Every structure is written in structure tokens, then in C-alpha cells.
Amino acid sequence: MLSRLYISNLVLIDKLEVVFEKGLTVFTGETGAGKSMLLDALGLILGERFESHLLRPGQQSLSITACFEATNHMSAFLDNQGIDQEIYDDDLLLKRTVDIKGEDGKSKGRAFIHNEPVTLNVLKQCAEKMMDIHGQFDRFMDPSYYIDLVDAFGGHATQCTAVKKTYHVWREAEEALNQLHFKQSHAKERHEQLQFDIEELRQLNPQKNEEDLLLSAREALKNASIAGESFQKAATFLAGQGDQGLAFPLIQIQKLLSRCEGENATITRLEQMIVDLHDIESEIHAKATALPFDPTAFEKSEERLHNLRQLARKHKTNANDLADLMQSFQEEYASLEHREEALAACAANLKMCEQEFVMHATHLHQNRVKAANTLSAAIMKELAPLKLEHALFNVAIAPLSIKEAHEKGMDRVDFLFSANPGIEPQSIGKVASGGELSRLMLALKVVLSQAGHVQTQIFDEIDSGVGGATATAIGLRLKRLSKNQQVIAVTHSPQVAAFADHHFKVIKHVKEDQTFVTLEKLQHKERDHELSRMLAGDTVTPEALQAARSLLEQAATQVDRSAFEQPILS
């Protein structure tokens, strides 16, 4: 349930902290006092669009923080968002901030769950699991909402999941068959094209990553060519012009020095040089012979690389991937060879998926009919005390054809209503007035509360346009609703306010030429005065005070009496 609400710089609110408790909480105040600001704050937590008029004049930022008592049903949602609830306290903090930047006044908003930044949509999803705000007409004008209410009332969550899952599997199978039909319409042309492409690739016979291998081989051939040419020239240079080559002049020098005394050391060195030159000449000659340049091999490699790249450009791929492309072409060609079998198998799978969806949808339809009958009876039971004793209400479940099926099944749900005898019930969005809609909504919420729903229900002037006994009946139903859920209501009706467990008065005052809105939690005497003001106006008379006390006593008596009433769904 909602335990605290912190508001900063919202419309006429400067700083405000509201502590909420279990049961029924009401907010009252004079017209224009600012009761709707609390709903504006909660609306922002629920992801409603920020409007510039919501910012307190003269301020550049606002902040709203709602603190809820966390429940186990939020664990899975928080886990999916990567938020570990265990590292925080038991409370769940939802926060939204808006900052106004620059001269153009552009707003920048941020959302948080605990201290973790999240998108506004995630904040909205989380808040919707914790509370529900109902305006006068709520979502009753949207027929797509009715089927969700019936399923919530009937407890069809598991069945709804199965229907949604099988529906999407069925649609995916249908799309697969459509795609296959499209391919089959071009199968003959594709078959012939594949045959040509495969033969062309087979003749070239590309190998995996062959372009990289050829580039490496080309580099090796280039290096071998350069080395072979260098060794050949070196060998030719060493051979010189005569038979002795470069060693010939050294031999002649050795002969001349042998005639001279004392030159033995030099002669020995010349002999070693002559031996080294002969060894070098033999080694270079051997290497020149071993590394012959083959221009034919180089040309073949270049031609192979050119052919691979040309075919790769044709198929808009990389030359290294031609081998994989040929394999994929061969697989596609093989599948086209058996296209009739594939088509029959895909059609059979579609039929099976459709039958499974229809089976789940039919079962859900049967349970919806049962839930609709029970819900209709429960709502009818609530209408008379709400001064709609002549009204008729019926939840109509219309089966749909397979062509009209949707992810929620094969049903169309409508809420039919007639306020007067002899008038055929029609969809409530067409025939119900504002006051009738508000009471229908309350009746539905009271009934649905016993089936389990969000922890906190918030009502905005649900008593609008009614008074007297009808307002008393609304107050009693809000009180009964608060047994299972926390209920917060903004009201103008003293009859409704008399049923509250907790009563706040919204007060607007001016200080130093600035307007502020504050809250006062009312106790016994303050509450008597507020109810008397709501009954008789600003002048509190002894008679008005007595009427207020009498109203409180009557409310307490009715609550005691209603405790012995049979459950709504009995």
C-alpha cells in the first residue's frame, strides 16, 4: 500500500509530506483549495505527461516520491529490471523529477525505482502494479478494457497466458507459410538460377578463405623472385670475366709475394681469402639454382585471384566466403527439389498451431461466460443500494470467428446497461450518464476487490453529481472496499467523508504575497467542524455541528451493520 508521498514544487505546493495508513482516507476542502494536486502528483508517478502549469511559479524543478510497502508480487518485475529489492528496505520507492533548462524552458525528466534510474515507461508499469487512479469516467469508455476486467475477476491469468502464447505461435506459423508460398511462386526461376550459379561456382571450386591464401602465396612468389634474381646477379659478378673469377687477382698477388722474404703471413691470409671466395661462390650459385623464378606460377595465381574476386562481386559477397555461398546455394537448391513436401509440412504445422490456439481459446471462452454471469449478478446486487434499483447490467460475451481472433482469444466483451425499465441495455459508453458511470465503476471495484487487484485504489470525486442516500451508499461501498485494499478518495460529499478512517483537509493560504497549499489531518473536533462546513457552509452553527456528529454516528452504525452482510459473491 501507499505509505508516504513527498511533493516538492507542484503547482501551489512548496514542500509536503503525506503519511498514509490502511483503510479509507479522504481529502476534503473548499472548492479551489487544491485537492486535485495530490492526484496530479500520483498521476506523474503513473507516467502521465508533465505539463508546464504543474510547476510551482518561480521554480525550475519539481520532485515527486511515492513510498509503498513492497510485496512479493513485485519481485519478478524488479528482477527483470535488474533491481535487487533485497539490498533495499522493505519499502518500494518510486520517484520522478522534472527540471526546466535554458531560456526556452525545455523540461528534462528522470524516473527512478529506489535509486536506480529507469525509463518513464518502466516507472509507469511498476506504479500500475501498486495503485490505480479512477476519474469520473475512468476507462469505461474503452471496450477493450472490459475483457481484462472479466479475466481479472475470473482468475484467468494462466489461461490468458496460454491463449496469448499459442496465438503468437499460430501467427508465426501462418507467416512462415506465407513466406514459403511467396518463395514457391518464384521457385522455378530460382531453381534454374541456382542451378546455373552452383555450376559456375563448382567449376571455379573456391576454397574456404582462398583469397587470403592466394595473397600470402603471391607475396611468397614475389619474395622468391627478388631473391632468385639477386642470387643470379651475385653469382655472375663472382664469376667475373675469366675462369678464375674474383679469385684470379688474389692468386696472382700470392704468386708475386711468394718471391719475397718475410711475407708468409700475408700469403697465408690470401690463401684463406681465396678459399672463402670459392665457398661463397659455390653457396650463392647453389641458392640461385634452388630459387628459380617461375613467371607462369605467378600469372596463374593472379588469374585465380581475379576470377574469385569477379565472381564475389557478382554475388555481392567476399571472395573468402564463396565456398560458404556455394554450400548455401546447394542447400537451398536441395530444399527446392522437395518444395512440395516442405509446403505440405508447413501447412500441417499451421493447422496444428491453429487447433491448439482454438482449444485454449474455447476453454477460456467457457470460463469467461461463467465469470461474466457471476460478475453480472454481483454488480446487479450492488446497484440497488447505489440508487440504481431499476437498472439492468449485463456482461455480454460474444464469440468471434477464427478470422476475428486476437491474442486475448476469440471473444468480444461488452458491458451493457439500462437505467430505466423497458429500455434495452446498450453499451455503457453510449447510454450511462456521468453519475451512473461513477456508481457503476464503484460497484465493479467493490466486486473486483474480492478477486484481488492492486493494493491502493484512488478515487477522484466519485460522488460527483449525487447526494443524500446515494452518497451514503457510495461512502459505505468505499468503506467496504477498504477492508481488502487501501482506498484514498477526494470528495465533496460529507456523507462519504463520514465513513473515513483518516481525514485530511486541504487548505490554501497566502503568505508574503505567495499562495501555498498545505494539509491538516483532522481529529475529532476538527473533523466535526469540517463536516459541518461541508453540510452547511462556512458558518459553523450548533445545529450544523450536531448534524455532523449525527452523520458520523450513522456512518459508524451502517459500517457495523454491513459487517454482518453476506459477501458480495455469495
What element of type H or E holds 18? strand 13-19
- Cα separation, 292 vs 84, in Å, equals 72
Q: Take residue 100 and report the three cell numbers written for it.
A: 526546466
pLDDT score, position 295: 64
Q: Which fold has domain 2-133+456-475+486-562?
A: Rossmann fold (3.40.50)
3-state secondary structure (DSSP) of residue 421: coil
- Considering only CA atoms, which of 483, 522, 482 is closest in space to residue 502? 522
Buried b (16+ CB within 10 A) or exposed e, 81-115: eebebeebeeebbbbbbbeeeeeeeebeeebebbe
Judge whether 371 and 154 are in contact, CB under 8 Å.
yes
3-state secondary structure (DSSP) of residue 460: strand
Domain segments of the chain: what residues?
A: 2-133+456-475+486-562
What element of type H or E holds 159? helix 157-185
Dmax (CA) for the chain in angstroms is 157
Residue 417: phi and psi, rounded to 5, are: -145, 140
Q: Take residue 442 and report the three cell numbers written for it.
A: 464503484
pLDDT tens sequence for the chain (570 residues): 899 999 999 988 889 999 999 999 999 988 776 778 888 899 899 888 888 888 888 888 999 999 998 776 777 778 777 777 665 667 888 999 999 876 666 888 999 988 889 999 999 988 888 888 875 455 667 788 889 889 988 999 899 999 999 999 999 999 999 988 887 777 777 778 888 988 888 888 888 887 888 777 777 777 777 766 676 677 766 666 555 566 777 777 777 777 787 778 888 887 888 787 777 777 777 776 666 556 677 778 778 888 888 888 888 888 888 888 888 888 888 877 777 788 889 999 999 999 999 999 999 999 999 999 999 999 998 888 888 888 899 999 999 999 999 999 999 999 998 888 888 888 887 776 666 777 787 888 888 776 655 788 888 877 776 777 888 888 988 998 888 889 999 998 999 999 999 999 998 888 878 888 889 999 988 999 999 998 888 778 888 889 889 988 888 888 777 654 544 444
pLDDT score, position 569: 47
- Cα separation, 151 vs 349, in Å, equals 29
Within 114-261, strands assigned E span 116-118, 131-134
Q: What is the DSSP letter of 50?
A: P
SS3 for 466-493 is CCHHHHHHHHHHHHHHCCCCEEEEECCC
Q: Take residue 470 and report the three cell numbers written for it.
A: 446515494
CA separation, residue 90 to residues 81, 84, 124 (Å): 18, 12, 20
Q: Which residue has the cell 605467378?
A: 298
Q: Residue 233, Cβ neighbours under 10 Å: how many?
A: 12
What element of type H or E holds 17? strand 13-19
Helices (H) and strands (E) in the chain, counts: 18, 15
Judge whether 491 and 27 are in contact, CB under 8 Å.
yes
Judge whether 210 and 308 are in contact, CB under 8 Å.
yes
* Positive or negative torsion for Cα 314, 316, 321, 323: negative
Amino acid letter, 493: S
- Cα separation, 414 vs 1, in Å, equals 31
Backbone Cα Rg of the chain:
45
- Considering only CA atoms, which of 452, 369, 458 is closest in space to residue 150? 369
Q: What is the DSSP secondary-structure string of 120-135?
A: HHHHHHHHHTTEEEE-
- Cα separation, 291 vs 285, in Å, equals 10
- Cα separation, 501 vs 478, in Å, equals 11
CA 120 centroid distance within chain:
11
pTM score above 0.75: no
What is the arrangement of strands in the sheet containing 411-418, beginning at the earlier edge strand?
392-399, 411-418, 426-427
Using CB atoms within 10 A of its CB, is residue 176 exposed (0-12), middle (13-18) or buried (19+)? middle
- Cα separation, 124 vs 239, in Å, equals 93
Judge whether 126 and 113 are in contact, CB under 8 Å.
yes
